[in-house]
Chain A
Amino acid sequence: MKVQIDSDRCQGHGRCYDLAPDLFGADDEGYGQVLGDGLVPPDREQEARRAAANCPESAVTVLEET
């Protein structure tokens, strides 16, 4: 599984780094960033889905197969 952020959609609500701090961080202006290569360890898959499902701008996507 892999996570992505569409930076054109992201407005810095920060739901992704609130809900999945191991997978997402913030840049200096608060916009969401994928940490590392975006590959999701198996024990973080639930968090990844939750972050995507709670993004108000639908900027976070989860690719189930990588």
Chain B
Amino acid sequence: MSVDDRFSQELREERYERETGTFSEVITGPVSDWASDFSHADPEWAADPFPIQDDLRQRCPVAHTERFGGVWLPTRYDDVASIAYDTERFSSRSIVISNFRPSLDLAPVGGTPPISSDPPFHHDARKLLLPAFTKTAISRYEESTRAFCHSLIDELNGQDVVDAAQDYAKYIPMRVIGDMLGLPADDTSRFAQFVEDTLETVNLPPEERGERMRPMFDYLYEQVREHVDNPRDDLTTYLINAELYGQKLDPNHVVGTIVLLLIAGIDTSWSAIGASLWHLAGHPADRMRLLAAPDLLPTALEEFLRAYAPVTMARLVKEDLHFRDVDMKAEDWILLSFPAANRDPAHFDRADQVVIDREINRHAAFGLGIHRCLGSHLARMELRVALEVWLSRIPEFSLADPSAVSWSTGQIRGPRALPLRIS
């Protein structure tokens, strides 16, 4: 068998030179009107997007902005759902809105398959990954996740105030997905920087954003080459050896999927765990109720996922089209806000309230349609175990300083500073 040189630095540089796309003007500054000039990179949106979304749903259910070269924002559940299901007219070629639209040639694969892929390729790329992310496959990681959560709590010992976002929530998904991919445990603390450089740089000039993301690609190429030399039982080796249509995967596919699993595996669960702890810290009645009735936790988790859904996706309009009352142009972005859909009173009773024993909860936190979050079973396991361990070890906790809580900006929303008083 010949040497697998798909991941050589030379070939990588060659591909890097060929990467093309279109740039839009970077527009910064405060939002003048949320209906016609919204920005999901705005601090007001990061701090509390729900009143803005509720207002838009009433007066302008498909809002628009000229920022990022043109973006539409539907806030009704039905509109979000219909776009999520309509893969004919809305492409997933890029799912993180920035001032760079990758070349149309990138479809139907996209940069980070399968989340960036369109049918029919999407189905085949996703099928490669599904068996590793079933509920049964994920249950194998529960015991080690639980032990890891306990070790994090052990380290908080002796402190009155801890940052639950930085010292607890963040490390759980970083460690679990790092293990699944077979990345060295010593590197875990670097992953948070990769997440920030990927997701919180969206309104930087595209070249600068590209530079910020390069260390992650350098690191992952290095890890892939190391796995080529030393194959083992993990997802990285699996992807290196995987085949589609009788051939090994394109190197961009392998590394793109690893980027996806790493980034989407971390920021999302980090956000969901943090937002749940933030809610419980600020709502002692809910916290007491969960302590008294631990069986309620799975139901409560679904409600936290609905009310504080961390993930907003994006689509690109394929051809000019009419949607509801607006005319969308080819290459316009759609900010596909599952959080906004989850707060639509037309779809949820008491949509603006957190009801931890909500029995019927058909929420869209993990998306709808063919791009349903691949890692949803992993996320639910991490969230459940993280909260079970926290509540059992630290039953009493409160917000140490509500004004010191900060939330990530961009399409993934969760606490990034969460000082909690634990004694």
Contacts and interface: CB of A to CB of B under 8 A. Distances in A.
Chain B interface extent, by class: 20 to 34
Contact of A56 (B127, B131, B135, B364): B364
B89 to A, nearest CB: 19
B214 to A, nearest CB: 34
Contact of B130 (A30, A55, A57): A30
A53 B347 CA distance: 12
A14 B376 contact: yes
A26 B136 contact: yes
Nearest to A53: B360
A30 B368 contact: no
Contacts of B362: 53-56, 58
A13 B372 contact: yes
A12 B138 CA distance: 14
A10 B380 CA distance: 18
Interface in A34-58: 50, 53-58
B325 interface: no
Contacts of B136: 26
Per DSSP, chain A at the interface is loop
A11 interface: yes
B21 interface: no
A14 B363 contact: no
A54 B361 contact: yes
A14 B130 CA distance: 13
Nearest to B129: A29
A28 B354 CA distance: 34
B377 interface: yes
A18 interface: yes
A58 B363 CA distance: 11
B131 A29 contact: yes
B370 A30 contact: no
B30 interface: no
Given A30-B133, A50-B359, A53-B360, A11 B377 contact: no
B134 interface: yes
B131 A14 contact: no
B376 A26 contact: no
A56 B359 contact: no
Contacts of A55: 362
Majority SS at the chain B contact face: helix
A54 B305 CA distance: 13
Contact of B376 (A13, A53, A58): A13
B127 A57 contact: no
Interface string B209-253: 000000000000000000000000000000000000000000000
B271 to A, nearest CB: 19
A11 B370 contact: yes
Given A55-B362, A56-B363, A26 B135 contact: yes
A46 B361 CA distance: 15
B369 interface: yes
Contact of B131 (A11, A28, A53, A58): A28
Interface in B267-311: 298, 302
A57 B130 CA distance: 18
A12 B372 contact: yes
B9 to A, nearest CB: 36
A29 B127 contact: yes
B135 A11 contact: no
B135 A30 contact: yes
Nearest to A30: B134
Interface string B351-368: 000000001111110101
A9 to B, nearest CB: 9
Contact of A26 (B134, B372, B380): B134
A18 B366 CA distance: 15
Interface in B111-143: 127, 130-131, 133-136
Contacts of B368: 11, 56-57
9 contacts: A11-B368, A13-B366, A17-B135, A26-B134, A26-B135, A28-B131, A54-B360, A54-B361, A56-B366
Return the 8 tightest CB-CB contacts between A and B, nearest first. Answer: A29-B130, A11-B372, A30-B134, A53-B360, A56-B362, A14-B135, A28-B131, A30-B130
Given A11-B368, A13-B372, 7 more contacts: A11-B369, A11-B370, A26-B135, A29-B127, A30-B135, A50-B360, A54-B362
